A = this chain, B = another copy of it.
Amino acid sequence: MPQTNLQSSNPKSTKLIQRLSCAVAIAASLMPTAARCDEGMWLFNALPKKQLASKYQFEPTQEWVDHVMLSSVRFNSGGSASFVSSNGLVLTNHHVAADTLFKLSTAEHNYNEDGFLAKSLQEEIPATDLELNQLISIEDVTAKVNEAVKADMAPADAFKARQATMAQIEKESLDKTGLRSDVVTLYGGGRYHLYRYKKYTDVRLVWAPEAASAFFGGDADNFEYPRYCLDVTLFRVYEDGKPAKIDHFLKMDPDGAKDGDLVFVSGNPGRTRRILTSDAVEFQRDTSLPRTLNMLRRREIALQQYGLEGPEQTRRGRDDLFGVQNSRKAYTGMLAGIQDPSFIEAKRKNEQDIFKTLQADPKLAGLAKAWETIRDLQSKRRDMVLKSASLRTQLTGFAEKIVLMATEDTKPSAQRLREFRDSARQSLEQELFSEVPVYDDLERALLADELSRLAEDRGGNDPLVQSVLAGKNPRTRAAEIIAGTKLHTAQGRKELAKQGLEGIKNSTDPLVVLLRSLEPEYRKIREATEAIDEQERQAYAKVTEAKFAAGGDSVYPDATFTLRLSYGAVSGYQSKGKAIPAHTKIGGAFEHEKVHLQKDPWVLPKSWHAAKDSLNPDTPFNFVATADIIGGNSGSPVVSRDGAMVGIIFDGNIESLPGDFYYSDQQARSVSVHIAGVLEAMRKIYQAGHLADQMGK
């Protein structure tokens, strides 16, 4: 499922290709882009107009572009969505909503498993901590940001100067416009754009189907195709206690997304790393991804073990487990993709070609040095990655932020660690002080595993490990910390944060004591990492220059969890010698259930069986297209030439998993729920006709 989990910086999914990347193939040949494939996550202020015109004879008007941009919504928690009515309805994926469904659920009401329907506005339930963003404008601020950095600055100083200027720009914009203002680093540091968003923080749950329908086929079918998933959920945004009035929303086109149709995906791809040099890819292949996978597998096992303790534990851990399994499957495919020797070989050949172009031009020749800089930085990055001083649980995440914040708040906004700047404060407090459920037994299990991991990473003799374990084994130590902390309530976190630095220094809360002991090392590693980041940023700015020089205007920036437009054709593909058609039908869900003997996870909810006879079995249900997507695109509207909604992205197929590093349209596909299937299910299965009637109006 494409969805970016920003907190862990582990995208909940990803996408694209089997063998050779289009980007690499094209850049390697340096040919014009006549037969170009449907690659690219394009900036709304730099769309690939030539390609669209030549391949699809489509020329978007500025009105079309603005309408699609303003109808698009970002879930700040990681995911995409769109406005689908004038009265504030927002359509996203069930798996993007899962975090909220989970937080609203209790042992009595399991909205994630059982679904939810508000029969009236009064029944709509406020989400605990959602922030939705609507992109309003984009401004290029590259010159201003680069001005801050002088040629003779040490990397750490340069990093700070750049951050300070970015924070300054954001603050001025916020003060002037009242809009959320983020400076976005594009092309790994080649460009800086200021994105202004309107924020919605009163977001209410309107309708969700059962998990068994949204995630039909479970982990087994995840990233597979054909699929039969109703992976959607409806929210509504409110302003001043009333449904917000929305000017730009999408019309519904249930007859769209026919085979071969051009479609657009407007969403927020979380992260791609296609700009990486071959040396940087090797670091990912040999160090970073294997380590990430080890961590994901250990978390998966830990959550499974926890779930064995009982049905309530299974429920408590399910959302996390689902996310982790999804990431693990995605990263496994990604790693296998870049372990393919032909990929790195093609990348190296492409680099050789670029070097030749550069050498031919004395003004450009110096740029090649950037590749050497990046190569040399990889071993430094390795040292940083292998030693971590962070613990990854919900409670340690809260505690880490509150402990850091206390010191950061004694500095001017522009000098703080980026997440503590004034312009981001409201979002941060929403995250820290919301009434989200914290389960002590789950925290205990995960903290024990994390303490064990810290000891493994740094070695048992490491002074930090010794201090953290305090002479006890990880399990005993975790139990005593969780039993003693007060940070599991929003109230407890608020009280601690209010006391500022003195409060942190004097606290005897064992979790605060723990995070305090980690803080110096955390800061050391963070500072060193930021210095490496800055040096890479400067180097990738040069790599980008070189690529623009070699590849003309066919260069789009890597994904940054900001709004992008992808395009492609609705199109099936070949797999293992078989033709996979582009569409599935709603009736196929019942056949799929039958083929799998109606065994978990292939059990459709009762509501489906009850409604079976009233459904039109030929209604399009899921479909695939060549559009270039990645984790974070989950919930993105799929839009027709006419700017109407034809579907909603919810996954990529297994062949799309290496898309983090390269794109191909040979077999890689984005997977969507067809809007006709959504409306049919709402009306016939879920008694949500009153909501279906509001959509598009």
Contacts and interface: CB of A to CB of B under 8 A. Distances in A.
B311 A473 contact: no
A308 B448 CA distance: 29
Interface string A464-496: 001001011111100000000000000000000
Contact of A460 (B285, B301, B309, B311): B285
A328 B297 CA distance: 12
Nearest to A473: B340
A628 B298 CA distance: 30
Q: Which of A308, A311, A460 has the most CB of B within 10 A?
A: A460
A473 B336 contact: yes
Interface stretch (A111-119, A203-211, A451-459, A564-572): A451-459
A286 interface: yes
B311 A328 contact: no
B469 A341 contact: yes
A337 B476 CA distance: 11
A460 B282 contact: yes
A216 to B, nearest CB: 14
Interface in A205-228: 219-220
A482 to B, nearest CB: 15
Contacts of A286: 455-456, 459-461
Among A220, A332, A344, max chain B CB count under 10 A is at A332
B473 A337 contact: yes
Contacts of A328: 301
B341 A475 contact: no
A607 interface: no
Contacts of A282: 459-461
Interface in A87-130: none
Interface string A597-614: 101000000000000000
A599 B466 CA distance: 42
B340 A290 contact: no
A294 interface: yes
B474 A336 contact: yes
Contacts of A338: 460
A575 interface: no
A341 B298 contact: no
B300 A460 contact: no
A342 interface: yes
A293 to B, nearest CB: 8
Given A219-B308, A309-B220, A328-B301, A339 B599 contact: no
A260 B562 CA distance: 69
Contacts of A475: 336
B290 A297 contact: no
Contacts of A448: 336
Tell me how many chains of this kind the complex includes. 2
B220 A466 contact: no
A286 B458 CA distance: 8
A339 B297 contact: no
B452 A339 contact: yes
Contacts of A472: 340-342
Contacts of A342: 471-472
A335 interface: yes
Interface in A417-459: 448, 452, 455-456, 459
Nearest to A341: B471
Nearest to A460: B285
Interface in A301-339: 301, 305, 308-309, 311, 328-329, 332, 335-339
B297 A460 contact: no
B297 A301 contact: yes
Contacts of A469: 339-341
Nearest to A472: B340
Contacts of A459: 282, 286
Nearest to A475: B336
A339 B453 CA distance: 10
A339 B298 contact: no
Nearest to A332: B452
Interface string A569-610: 000000000000000000000000000010100000000000
Given A285-B460, A286-B460, A301-B328, A341 B466 contact: yes
Nearest to A286: B459
A474 to B, nearest CB: 6
B452 A335 contact: yes
A202 B293 CA distance: 45
A655 to B, nearest CB: 11
Contact of A290 (B293, B336, B344, B456): B456
A460 B339 contact: yes
Nearest to A218: B308
Contacts of A599: 311
A594 to B, nearest CB: 14
Nearest to A309: B220
Contacts of A473: 336-337, 339-340
A510 B471 CA distance: 52
Interface string A268-298: 0000000000000010011000100110011
24 contacts: A219-B308, A220-B308, A220-B309, A282-B459, A285-B455, A285-B460, A286-B455, A286-B456, A286-B459, A290-B456, A294-B297, A297-B298, A301-B328, A305-B329, A311-B597, A335-B456, A337-B473, A339-B455, A339-B460, A339-B473, A339-B474, A340-B473, A342-B471, A342-B472
Interface of A: 219-220, 282, 285-286, 290, 293-294, 297-298, 300-301, 305, 308-309, 311, 328-329, 332, 335-342, 344, 448, 452, 455-456, 459-461, 466, 469, 471-476, 597, 599
Query: Which 7 residue pairs spanning A and B have beta carbons closest together?
Result: A340-B473, A220-B308, A290-B456, A286-B459, A297-B297, A339-B455, A294-B294
Given A290-B456, A339-B469, A342-B471, 8 more contacts: A219-B308, A294-B294, A337-B473, A339-B452, A339-B460, A341-B460, A341-B471, A341-B472
